[in-house]
Amino acid sequence: MQFSQQGPYQIQGLSLEALAQEYGTPLYVYDADIIERQVQSLHTAFGGLKHRIKYAAKALTNQAILKLMNKNGVELDVVSIEEAQLGLQAGFAPSQILYTPNSVSFKEIQEAVALGLTINIDNISILEQFGNAYESSVPCCIRINPHIVAGGNAKIQTGHIDSKFGISILQMKHVARVVRSSNIRVEGLHIHTGSEFLNSDVFLQGAELVFDAATDFPDLRFIDFGSGFKVAYKEGDHVTDVMELGQKMTQAFKRFCAEYGRELEIWFEPGKYLVSECGYLLANANVVKTTPSSVFVGVDTGLNHLIRPMMYDAYHEIVNISNPEGAKRIYTVVGYICETDTFGYDRKLSEVREGDVIAFLNAGAYGFSMSSNYNSRLRPAEVLIYKGKAHLIRRREVLDDLLRTQVDFQV
């Protein structure tokens, strides 16, 4: 359980229940100390190499979080032109932003070039168009699909042979011909096998494939190994040992650089690793409903605010922060959406009473960023705990927000 030792259900000495009372529920709360701890762990693990940490902005795009990353020496990985614009608004320089889109039009690629971003290309068609438009005047990175199955749920496995992501490792000779014929300056190679890989050997397996491919690209400045570092969602979960990975990758990368003939930079793109454990979604227990087979706790949030359990079968620890000493009982925790939006089946919680505050842990990554207005529900507020103080970093939506982009029509 990632709570401060200062007391039960507190962050930096602030009571989560008191925050729920002050800001209302549902409410996302983020602990800046955990983000800074995770950042430092990566800088330490890869400190023996010239490295850059590129935060995967899609995990959590609030401007306050982006500014905190920037302050801690983290750069940015974006997958859309809008994420890039948010990064620029947050103070990142264009040179600090890696743009890695998938299935976008060439027009969006051109927008990214105009902004001065580092362009990561993941299909041969776009690579050919890129070469025809820019030749060597604009450098690029190439994303390789290693044909490695790694990651948790199938929806976050990005490096297997049937994945839509990246250019097949088997097509590298074709890519090299396109690069030569169009005089394209390739400054980086990129690989991402998937989220939540289980051991460093899988990571190193992908690295060796990239090292082999690198011999066809003499102008490299960096190699980007993506991320996928796993954090624990429940007691006993496997986690990525980043210190072990850092030690093995440092040895392998230094050998590669010696063979390549010069020192390159090594890049990583963590998202979940940096922000998952910092986040808590607080909700009110609206109803406790007994049926012949179950006891349901119905809360004032749902898949519209935290879709990971429904989309990925993801596990989030759930606790009753209003009654920590209550007798343990078995509940199925469900949302208020007109779908089967179950957060957890048969969970052992301290006895839940209507009105209690329920907390979903590890909700920082792909929580608010994947939220929606389904059922015309409003999205929650966000609060950042920074240096012992609570800061409202996104207000709660109101009905006018649902209508803001609609155009009046008279029937």
Q: Which residues are annotated as a binding site?
A: 228, 308, 312, 339, 366
Enter the tokens of residue 370: 């994947």
**How many Cα atoms are found within 13 Å in the side-chain-facing hemisphere of 28?**
32
Going by DSSP bridges, is the β-strand pair 51-56/222-224 parallel, antiparallel, or unpaired? unpaired
Q: Which of 96, 102, 134, 105 lies closest to 120, judged by CA?
A: 102
Residue 27: partners with Cβ closer than 8 Å, 6 or more residues away: 19, 20, 281, 282, 380, 381, 382, 383
Residue 21: partners with Cβ closer than 8 Å, 6 or more residues away: none
- Binding-site residues for pyridoxal 5'-phosphate sit at 228, 366
Catalytic annotation, residues: 338
Indicate the length of the chain as a whole number: 411
Omega within 30 of 0 (cis) for the link into 26: yes
Residue 205: partners with Cβ closer than 8 Å, 6 or more residues away: 146, 148
Going by DSSP bridges, is the β-strand pair 51-56/265-268 parallel, antiparallel, or unpaired? parallel
Enter the tokens of residue 86: 């948010």
Query: Cα(53)–Cα(48) distance, rounded to whole angstroms?
Result: 14
Query: Cα(76)–Cα(225) distance, rounded to whole angstroms?
Result: 14
Enter the tokens of residue 337: 């959406």
Q: What is the DSSP letter of 136?
A: G
